[in-house]
């Protein structure tokens, strides 16, 4: 039997990789990929917690399903925003998009 | 405090999964084996034509990293949006009988909202290829 | 506490049902109508929102005892009722501001996205479950990302949408990780059931998940470590959208913050009070100091809205475990006053920007001669923002600081007052441009500044509201008190 902590460590590692990607990568698509990794880490967490902590209540699984759907919507919106910015500037690199800064 | 262990038997260790594990190991091993044998015994006569990217035996046309028309992107995005909704149908289908009529009505409303979005996309010409 | 399904539950979500229907109708008509007919979509949205507002206020009042509906997903209480009315009002005003905007007014999508975002805010204010809360936050945010980047032919607008999306996606993922930990620690997703289980947890685990969750909420209310998006997004986004972002979206963030902190984390009350107090001090100070250096009015308002988030956080700190006190009521009151005031400020900027095409402070020189009415609106809005009597902003600030003093956070109230003085400086600077300075080129001043009918209607409503809140504040405050008391 795999202990719960393994799943949690795996999810934490996945989350950290995702967060690192978000903070370190400059390309907007790569940043969005990092966010997806973070969301998947959350899903691993939720399903593992559901199985080990509250297998009778469906909440954890339902939560994971919602996250899938929302993540798809977020990516669709994100990519269309990237395309609209690419059309005007020919770049989606985050630190080249700096028309406004203080 | 939190109990980090589960007392039930682990279904993944059940005996009926052992053939699956064997198959998985064999498939991986075979893949490696073929590559290794080919490298050890095969003749090696490199030429420019052989080093070219393989494009169904034809001479490659243009560069590999061509831009894809944005139309593909629109179609793909519509596909994703109308595809992900299935994720809500699956759990609904599992408890369809318990939910009864009210579940059916709720799913009907869900579909109606999606349908309005679909009609909108259609009317705005998102489904036209040109 | 949980109630089984019956038809009165549908009555409790009447505003949400009406919003969905309205959004569907607008979307269908947008597809069906010819472009020249689409300018009526704006009026349709306003009338629909007004009807929803009246029906909500009369028919779907909550019962005296708070209830958890739909398996605990929603909580039907006076707090959610009050916030729903606030959001419906804010959306209606935003629609009025957008109607004559050349890039927004005839786009059905704009109104649909606005309505869906309002729906998400309504659900945020009444969410009683982590799943619902996440869903509501994303339903609010995703349309707002598109709205911020709505003008695809404008470099600044697309940049605003881009930055808002990247920041929002990241912070919501961090918040979600916190949610998953809360679920794991307690085995529950319902906020009110969670509280009982979390009390047994060791403090580090509790505070760790609280911190993760706070990242997402700080982003929504633009509190300081997560405020970087605000100036760029407010400057780049279409002005009506920026107004909506800075008021309704922020109010929704505070509704969620209050509910989660009080419903799910009563066990850690002293710790999170200290944390939020720190957040409040940093947010106020950074917002106000950076606002001093701004020359663009939308950016100035962005930093001012960060500072206001700080003042509101003071009210959040000033709760006590006993329940009934000034703190929460002052937050609700502040949010209402702030919504009216800041919408008026952004509305005036939108009116001005539509004609002059500029949001720079220099362009505002001599405004009082070009349009005395608009200058008067700006005077009311900015004096109320700075906390001058007899306007709503003054009473709101008094209540928040009084709540802090009552709860023995006197040093926090002192810092708040000092910050208000800094705020006064930059608000008066802008008013100086409006009233005292003249354009170098005097012909510029002869140009008329027409205010179209929807703008005039919205601005008059807002100014009346600000003055009412500042003079006849008693009924409003009692209302806030009822709403805040239902949180427990």
- Euclidean distance between CA atoms B123 and C403, whole angstroms: 55
User: What pLDDT, on the 0 to 100 scale, is given for residue C252?
Assistant: 95
Residues C287, C196 share a domain: no
Give alpha helix (H) positions in C265-325: 269-291, 297-317
pLDDT at C102 over 60: yes
User: Is residue C180 domain-shared with residue C280, that is, in the same domain?
Assistant: no
Which residues fall within 8 angstroms of residue C124, CB to CB, at 6 or more apart?
Answer: C133, C136, C137, C140, C252, C253, C255, C256
> What pLDDT is recorded for position B112?
92
Q: Among B34-38, C1-5, C223-227, C421-425, which stretch is predicted with the lowest mean pLDDT?
A: C1-5
Distance of CA B93 to the CA centre of its chain: 22
Whether C353 and C383 map to the same domain: the answer is yes
HSE-CB of A62 using CA atoms within 13 angstroms = 18
| Residue B14 confidence (pLDDT) | 63
Nearest to C165 by CA among A21, B75, A67, A76: A76
Collect all residues of chain C within an 8 Å Cβ-Cβ radius of residue A64: none
The distance of B63 to chain C (nearest Cα, Å) reads: 30
Q: Quick check: C135 and A70 in contact, CB under 8 A?
A: yes
State how far the Cα of C162 lies from the Cα of C179, in Å rounded to an integer: 26
* pLDDT > 50? residue C76: yes
Amino acid B130: pLDDT: 65
Interface of A with B in 49-78 (CB under 8 A): 51-53, 62, 65, 68-69, 72-73, 75-76
Each residue of C368-402: pLDDT tens digit? 888 889 999 999 999 999 988 889 899 999 989 98
Higher pLDDT, C35 or C142: C142
Per-residue pLDDT reduced to its tens digit, C314-358: 988 887 655 556 788 889 999 999 999 999 999 999 999 888 888
All residues of chain A having their beta carbon less than 8 Å from the beta carbon of residue B114 are none
Point out the domain boundary residue: C264, C282, C311: C264
| pLDDT higher at C135 or B45 | C135
Chain A residues inside the 8 Å CB shell of C146 = 77, 80-81
- Given a cut of 70, whether residue B6 has pLDDT beyond it is no
pLDDT at B2: 46
- ipTM rounded to 2 decimals: 0.95
B12-16, C58-62, C82-86 — most confident range: C82-86
Instruction: Please give the pLDDT value at position B63.
Output: 72
Instruction: Say yes or no for a CB contact (<8 Å) between B77 and A52.
Output: no
In chain C, residues with a C-beta closer than 8 Å to the C-beta of B124 are: 31
> What is the rounded average pLDDT of the residues B93-113?
88
Q: Nearest 5 degrees, angle CA C185-CA C190-CA C194?
A: 40
Cα separation of C143 and C61, whole Å? 28
Residue with tokens 């999508």: C109
Per-residue pLDDT at C441: 72
- Sorted by where each begins, the domain ranges of chain B are 70-123
Do C251 and C277 share a domain, yes or no?
A: no
Instruction: Determine whether the interchain pair C31/B2 forms a contact, defined as Cβ–Cβ distance below 8 Å.
Output: no
What residues of C are in contact with residue B117 (Cβ under 8 Å)?
A: 27
| Chain C contact for A87 (CB, 8 A cutoff) | yes
Among partner residues A3, A4, A76, which is closest to B77 by beta-carbon distance?
Answer: A76
Binned at pLDDT 50, 70 and 90, residue B8 comes out as: very low
Q: Chain B interface, mutation test: which of A45, A72, A78, A82, most B Cβ atoms within 10 Å? A: A72
Q: What pLDDT does residue C2 have?
A: 61
Question: According to the model, what pLDDT value does residue B55 have?
Answer: 72
pLDDT digits (tens, 9 = 90+) for C400-457: 998 888 888 899 999 999 999 999 999 999 999 888 888 777 666 677 788 888 899 9
Report CB contact under 8 Å: C184, A57.
Answer: no
CA distance C209 to chain A (A): 13
Q: Which of C198, C231, C264 is the last residue of a domain?
A: C264
Decide if pLDDT at C115 tops 90: yes
CA distance to partner chain A, nearest, from residue C63 (Å): 27
Assigned architecture for domain A4-91? Orthogonal Bundle (1.10)
Mean local confidence (pLDDT), A80-87: 88
Q: Are C259 and C324 part of one and the same domain?
A: no
Same domain flag for C250 and C325: no
Gap from C163 CA to chain B (nearest CA, Å): 21
CB A31 within 8 A of CB A74: no
Question: In the structure encoding, which two tokens stand for residue C106, read together?
Answer: 């005839």
Residue B61, sorted as left (phi over 0), alpha (psi -120 to 50) or beta, turns out to be beta
Per-residue pLDDT, C36: 82
Predicted pLDDT of residue C69: 84
Min Cα separation B85/chain A (Å):
7
Cα–Cα distance measured from residue A57 to residue A17, given in angstroms and rounded to the nearest whole number: 30
Considering B101-105, C447-451, C462-466, the range whose residues carry the highest mean pLDDT is C462-466
Q: Do A52 and B85 touch (CB under 8 A)?
A: no
Per CB-CB distance under 8 Å, the chain B contacts of A75 are: 80
Residue whose entry in the numeric block shows the structure tokens 């940093």: C282
pLDDT band at B1, cuts 50/70/90?
Answer: very low
Q: What is the pLDDT of residues C182-241, one digit of tens each?
A: 999 888 888 888 888 887 888 888 888 999 999 999 999 999 888 889 999 999 999 999
- Nearest residue of chain C to residue A7 (CA atoms): C184
Identify the domain boundary among C223, C244, C264: C264
pTM: 0.89
Chains adjacent to B (≥3 CB pairs closer than 8 angstroms): A, C
pLDDT in tens, C147-197: 999 998 888 999 999 999 999 999 999 999 999 999 998 888 888 888 888
In chain A, residues with a C-beta closer than 8 Å to the C-beta of B87 are: 65, 68-69
Q: What is the average pLDDT across C15-37?
A: 90
CB C124 within 8 Å of CB C55: no
pLDDT of residue C306: 94
CA dihedral C312, C315, C321, C326 (to 10 degrees): -130
Query: C414-450 burial, b if ≥16 CB within 10 A, otherwise e?
Result: ebbeebbebbbebbeebbebbbeeebeeeeeeeeebe
C260 and C275 assigned to the same domain: no
Q: What total number of domains does chain C contain?
A: 2
Question: Can you give the residue range of the structural domain that contains C237?
Answer: 1-264
Helix (H) or strand (E) holding C146: helix C130-148
| Whether the predicted pLDDT of C64 surpasses 70 | yes
pLDDT for C445 equals 67
Mean pLDDT within C9-13? 84
Q: Among all residues of chain B, which has the CA nearest to that of C30?
A: B120
> Can you say whether the dihedral through the CA atoms of C27, C29, C32, C33 is positive or negative?
negative
**pLDDT band at residue A19, thresholds of 50, 70 and 90?**
very high
For C247, which DSSP code?
A: I
Query: Is the CB of residue A81 less than 8 Å away from at least one CB of chain C?
Result: yes
Contact B113 C30 (CB under 8 A): no
Residues of B in contact with A53 (CB under 8 A): 2-3
> In this complex, do C145 and A81 lie within 8 Å of one another by their Cβ atoms?
yes
Mean pLDDT in chain B? 80
Residues C82 and C135 in one domain: yes
Supply the pLDDT for residue C390: 86
Residues C232 and C299 in one domain: no
Q: Which helix (H) or strand (E) holds C75?
A: strand C74-76
Instruction: Tell me the H-state helices in chain A.
Output: 4-24, 28-53, 59-89
Which residue in the set B113, B122, B123 is minimally distant from C24, CB to CB? B113
Cα dihedral value A40, A46, A50, A51, nearest 10? 40
The predicted-structure confidence for C353-362, as pLDDT tens digits, reads as follows 888 888 888 8
Q: Among residues C479, C317, C335, which one has the least CA distance to residue C393?
A: C335
Percent of chain C with pLDDT over 90: 54
């Amino acid at each position: 039997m795999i202990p719960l902590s393994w799943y949690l460590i795996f999810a934490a590692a996945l989350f950290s990789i995702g967060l690192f990607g978000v903070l370190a990568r400059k390309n907007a698509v790569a940043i969005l990929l990092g966010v997806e990794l973070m969301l998947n880490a959350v899903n691993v967490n939720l399903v593992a917690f559901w199985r080990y902590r509250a297998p009778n209540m469906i909440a954890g699984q339902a939560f994971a399903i919602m996250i899938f759907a929302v993540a798809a919507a977020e990516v669709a919106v994100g990519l269309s925003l990237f395309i609209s910015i690419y059309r005007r500037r020919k770049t989606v690199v985050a630190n080249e998009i700096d028309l406004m800064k203080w | 405090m939190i109990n980090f262990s589960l007392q039930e038997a682990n279904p993944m260790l059940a005996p009926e999964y052992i053939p699956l594990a064997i198959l998985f190991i064999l498939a991986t091993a075979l893949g490696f084996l073929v590559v290794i044998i080919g490298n050890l015994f095969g003749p090696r006569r490199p030429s420019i034509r052989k080093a070219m990217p393989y494009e169904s035996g034809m001479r490659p046309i243009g560069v590999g990293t061509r831009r894809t028309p944005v139309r593909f992107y629109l179609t793909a995005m519509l596909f994703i949006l109308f595809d992900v909704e299935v994720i809500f149908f699956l759990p609904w289908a599992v408890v369809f009988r318990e939910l009864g009529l009210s579940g059916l009505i709720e799913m009907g409303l869900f579909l109606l909202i999606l349908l309005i979005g679909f009609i909108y996309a259609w009317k705005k010409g998102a489904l036209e290829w040109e | 506490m949980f109630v089984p399904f019956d038809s009165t539950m549908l009555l409790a979500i009447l505003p949400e049902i009406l919003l969905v229907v309205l959004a569907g109708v607008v979307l269908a008509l947008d597809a069906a109508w010819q472009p020249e007919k689409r300018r009526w979509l704006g009026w349709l949205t306003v009338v629909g929102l007004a009807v929803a507002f009246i029906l909500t206020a009369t028919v779907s009042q909550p019962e005296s005892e708070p209830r958890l509906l739909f398996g605990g997903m929603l909580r039907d209480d006076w707090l959610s009722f009050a916030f729903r009315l606030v959001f419906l009002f804010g959306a209606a005003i935003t629609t009025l501001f957008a109607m004559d905007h050349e890039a927004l007014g005839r786009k059905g999508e704009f109104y649909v996205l606005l309505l869906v975002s309002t729906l998400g805010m309504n659900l945020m204010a009444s969410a009683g479950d982590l799943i619902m809360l996440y869903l509501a936050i994303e339903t609010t945010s995703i349309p707002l990302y598109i709205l911020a980047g709505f003008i695809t032919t404008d470099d600044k607008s697309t940049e605003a949408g881009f930055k808002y999306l990247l920041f929002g996606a990241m912070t919501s993922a961090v918040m979600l990780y916190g949610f998953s930990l809360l679920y794991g620690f307690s085995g529950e997703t319902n906020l009110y059931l969670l509280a009982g289980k979390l009390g047994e947890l060791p403090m580090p685990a509790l505070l760790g998940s609280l911190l993760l969750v706070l990242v997402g909420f700080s982003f929504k209310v633009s509190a300081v470590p997560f405020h970087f998006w605000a100036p760029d997004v407010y400057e780049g986004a279409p002005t009506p959208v920026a107004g909506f972002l800075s008021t309704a979206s922020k109010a929704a963030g505070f509704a969620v913050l209050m509910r989660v902190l009080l419903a799910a984390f009563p066990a850690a009350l002293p710790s999170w009070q200290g944390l939020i107090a720190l957040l409040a001090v940093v947010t106020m100070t950074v917002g106000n100091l950076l606002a001093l250096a701004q020359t663009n009015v939308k950016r100035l308002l962005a930093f001012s809205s960060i500072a206001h988030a700080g003042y509101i956080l003071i009210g959040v700190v000033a709760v006590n475990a006993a329940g009934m006190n000034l703190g929460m009521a002052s937050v609700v009151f502040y949010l209402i006053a702030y919504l009216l005031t800041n919408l008026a400020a952004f509305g005036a900027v939108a009116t001005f920007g539509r004609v002059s095409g500029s949001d720079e402070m220099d362009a505002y020189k001599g405004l009082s001669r070009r349009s005395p009415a608009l200058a008067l609106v700006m005077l009311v809005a900015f004096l109320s923002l700075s906390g001058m009597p007899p306007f709503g902003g003054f009473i709101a600030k008094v209540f928040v600081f009084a709540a802090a003093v009552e709860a023995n956070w006197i040093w926090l109230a002192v810092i708040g007052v000092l910050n208000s003085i800094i705020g006064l400086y930059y608000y008066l600077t802008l008013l100086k441009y409006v009233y005292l300075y003249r354009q170098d080129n005097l012909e510029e001043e002869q140009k008329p500044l027409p205010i179209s009918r929807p703008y005039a209607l919205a601005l008059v409503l807002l100014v009346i509201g600000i003055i009412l809140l500042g003079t006849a504040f008693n009924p409003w405050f009692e209302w806030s008190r009822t709403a805040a008391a239902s949180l427990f």
